[in-house]
Amino acid sequence: MSNLLIVDDELSMRQFLTHLFQRDGHAIRVAENGREAMAMLRQQPADVVISDVKMPDMGGIELLRAARELQPDVEFIMMTAFANVDTAREAFLLGAFDFIQKPFDNDLLKEIVARALAKIELVKKTQALQDENEALIKGQRARGKLGNIIGHSERMQSVYQMIETVAQVQSTVLITGGSGTGKELVARAIHDLSPRAQKPFVSINCGAFTETLLESELFGYIKGSFTGATANRKGLFEAANQGTIFLDEIGDMSTAMQVKLLRVLQERKVRPVGAHEETEIDTRVIAATNRDLSALVRDGGFREDLFYRVSVIPIELPLLRERGADVAELTDHFIEKYCTQTGRALSISAPAMRLLEAYSWPGNVRELEHTIERAVALEKTDTIQPERLPEQITNYNHVRVTSETELPGEGLNLTAHLDQLEKTYLLEALRRTDGNQTAAAELLQMSVRSLRHLLDKHGVRGLTAQMRDERRAESIPRRRANDPYPRRRDEDFSEPTNDSEQAARAGET
């Protein structure tokens, strides 16, 4: 049921309108002037106000101005027996929904009120959808995901925040980052979260076309403009009108094409190849490159004026090795993706996961995805083993051995040396975090799950609980002030680390 407020200094008009709208089930309040109406609005908001223009004390225009400051979403329908263009213009400028002259047709007034109420309902539904979308985005971010972008790491959280912010504006965006970092996914997320989401998203790789072909792809052409142009064809800028065009690898665009693109961005018009007239467009531009455009500008390979046009809002994507904590999450995502396609159910072994997390990933997320796709296709068991990973991953060692590197004098037992180094890092991380596995995993830039795999491997899982118990039971003496890694004096990490050793020690005592 809607709430109507009728404001008129004539008693007969108030009574007539009350009778007219009460029959339709509306809740009606009446006031004889603007001051009385304002007092009623302060007590209870109204959906629609039907007000006379000329009234003593406070007229309809003054009431409209004051009421919309108090309640911006209220809809006003103005009535007057004295038609005046200036008054009607002022009412509309102040946000009046409609203006009707007395005497009026009853059905027309009822229709105007119905349209005003329909507008209010539409605004409420739109707001509800926006609130739902915001809640969905927040939920996705809490799970380390936005659209098809995966990752909980701090670097990715910053990217998510930037995506949400720039999605609501119309400025040109330049996305930079290495090949395979997910630039098109970010562009798609910006489009999907923007007011243009229901309009086209069009993508093109500028480095995949010659200058002539790129011009006709972007701007279109008319029949007969060149050999093979047998009909008019719209370019991608027109195809993406009111939507978004994604110009990938914009740094590979020729100088001549840069000039033409600059004009499009300045004038918001395109001229198809062979045409004499331009077509206006409303297309948002998101560009991307894996090259250093600033360096290209300095070297004369990219126009400075175009650089400033496309980089109004820059977004830099981190390399995968800079967000190592996301490797396990991305791995699980890709395993699920390719297992769904093949109808299988696979997991990944701890040794294979350690190899993935230790690798430098020069090909970034794209390389990781292809690696998992290959492993899922080749694996015959229900768990992905290290043997299913490419050689460059299984043979990779991020610790570089040089002539100055200290090595065991007895020999070069690489496996034992790396195991001991791995265990040392684990123990140091646990020592620094007082046995807190989550904090230790963050310190080591790995997932908690991977940390637990390593704890099990080296038989020190139970050590974390022991350290927490000791922390509760006693104060922690500190080493001398110049020791960068304070620790307990009575800690002994040579204590038994597996069940058999513990049993043997128990037998000794």
Contact 430, 463 (CB under 8 A): yes
What was the pLDDT predicted at 327?
A: 93
What was the pLDDT predicted at 436?
A: 82
Contact 245, 204 (CB under 8 A): yes
Cα–Cα distance, 375 to 334 (Å, whole number): 11
What was the pLDDT predicted at 324?
A: 82
What was the pLDDT predicted at 494?
A: 41
What was the pLDDT predicted at 39?
A: 92
| 339 exposure class (CB count in 10 Å sphere: 0-12, 13-18, 19+) | middle
Q: What structural domains and CATH numbers belong to the chain?
A: 3-121 (3.40.50.2300), 147-318 (3.40.50.300), 324-394 (1.10.8.60), 414-508 (no CATH)
Q: Is the pTM of this model over 0.85?
A: no
Q: Do strands 347-348 and 383-384 pair parallel, antiparallel, or not at all (unpaired)?
A: parallel
Could you say which DSSP state residue 273 is in?
B
pLDDT digit string (tens) for the chain, length 509 residues = 789 999 998 999 999 999 889 888 899 999 999 999 999 999 999 999 999 888 888 888 899 999 988 988 899 998 887 767 777 788 888 888 988 888 888 889 999 999 999 988 888 877 776 666 665 555 555 444 577 888 888 888 899 989 989 998 999 999 999 999 999 999 999 999 899 999 999 999 999 999 989 999 999 999 888 888 889 999 999 999 999 999 999 999 999 999 999 999 999 999 999 988 999 999 999 999 999 999 999 999 999 999 999 999 999 999 998 888 899 999 999 999 999 998 999 999 999 999 999 898 989 999 999 999 999 999 999 999 999 999 889 887 554 444 444 555 555 566 666 777 788 888 888 877 777 888 888 788 777 777 888 888 887 766 666 666 655 554 444 444 444 444 444 444 344 445 544 444 444 44
Nearest to 260 by CA among 271, 251, 275, 252: 271
Contact 445, 324 (CB under 8 A): yes
10 Å Cβ neighbour count for 425? 14
Side chain identity at residue 336, one-letter code: E
Cα–Cα distance, 60 to 100 (Å, whole number): 13
